[in-house]
Amino acid sequence: MNYRKVFPTGKQLFVVVHVESPDQAMQNVATAKENGADGVFLIGHRISHKELTCCYCYVRDRVPDFFVGLNYLDLDNRQSIRLVSQLQTEAVWLDDPTPIVQLRGWQQEMAAERLIVFGGVAFKGQRAVTDPAQAAREAAPYLDVVTTSGDRTGLAPTVEKIQEMKKAIGDVPLAIASGITSDNVAAYLAVGTDCFLVATGISFSFAALDPAKVGALSKIIHNSTS
C-alpha cells in the first residue's frame, strides 16, 4: 500500500489546515512542521478549488519536502483525484468514496502511483452507515487509508467503533478525522488507530493552529508503542 511506503512504521499526525489565504496557509503549515506533525491536509471550506490549488502551490514552493495532502470540497471524487494527480501531491482525502463500484474505476484514474487515497467510511455528514465494520471491510481494498470520524466536527467516534473497524480491516491503515485531543488520543492508539487528522483539538480558532497543542499531541502519538 502506498501509505506504508511513505510511513513504514509508527503512528502519524496530520494537521488539517482550514485554508483562507496563501500566507495564512503557509503560517499554519509551518506551525505543524515545526511542532512535530508528519504532514498536513489543506482544505477549503470558504474558498474554491482554484483558490485552494493556488494556496497549495504557494505552500509547496516553500516546503517541498513536507507531506501535503488536499481535500477539495467543491469537486466530486473523480475530479479531485485527477487534479491531485496532476499536481503530483502526496495524498487526496475524499469524504465519501463509496459506492464501491466507483472505487473500482478510480484505480485507473490514479496516474501517479504514489498518490495516497484517504477515504471517508462511516464519516460525518455523509450517508448513514448501519455497520461501520462491514463498510470498512468493503472499502479497504480500494483505499490506502480508511478514514472515519464521529457524528460531527469536533466529536470523536466511540472507541468501540474504532476497535471494530480496525479488526475488520486488519493491516490496512485506519485514520480518525474528528474530535481528537491530547486528552483522549491514548484510548484510540490503544485499539490500533494508525493516524489522526486533526484541526479543532489543536487550534486557537477555525483558521489558526495552537503550536503548543500541536506539539503536545504529536509527542503523545509518536511516543505510543500501541
Architecture in CATH for domain 2-222: Alpha-Beta Barrel (3.20)
Average pLDDT for 118-133: 87
| Residue 110 confidence class, pLDDT cut points 50, 70, 90 | low
pTM of this prediction? 0.93
Look at residue 113 in the predicted model and tell me its pLDDT: 58
Query: Which of these ranges, 82-86, 126-130, 198-202, has the smallest mean pLDDT?
Result: 126-130
In three state form, how does the secondary structure of the chain look?
CHHHHHCCCCCEEEEEEECCCHHHHHHHHHHHHHCCCCEEEEECCCCCHHHHHHHHHHHHHHCCCCEEEEECCCCCHHHHHHHHHHHCCCEEEECCCCCHHHHHHHCCCCCCCCCEEEEECCCCCCCCCCCHHHHHHHHHHHCCEEEECCCCCCCCCCHHHHHHHHHHHCCCCEEECCCCCCCCHHHHHHCCCCEEEECHHHEEECCEECHHHHHHHHHHHHCCCC
Look at residue 101 in the predicted model and tell me its pLDDT: 44
- pLDDT tens digit string along 10-66? 999 999 999 999 999 999 999 999 999 999 999 999 999 999 999 999 999 999 999
Look at residue 103 in the predicted model and tell me its pLDDT: 56
Domain ranges of the chain: 2-222
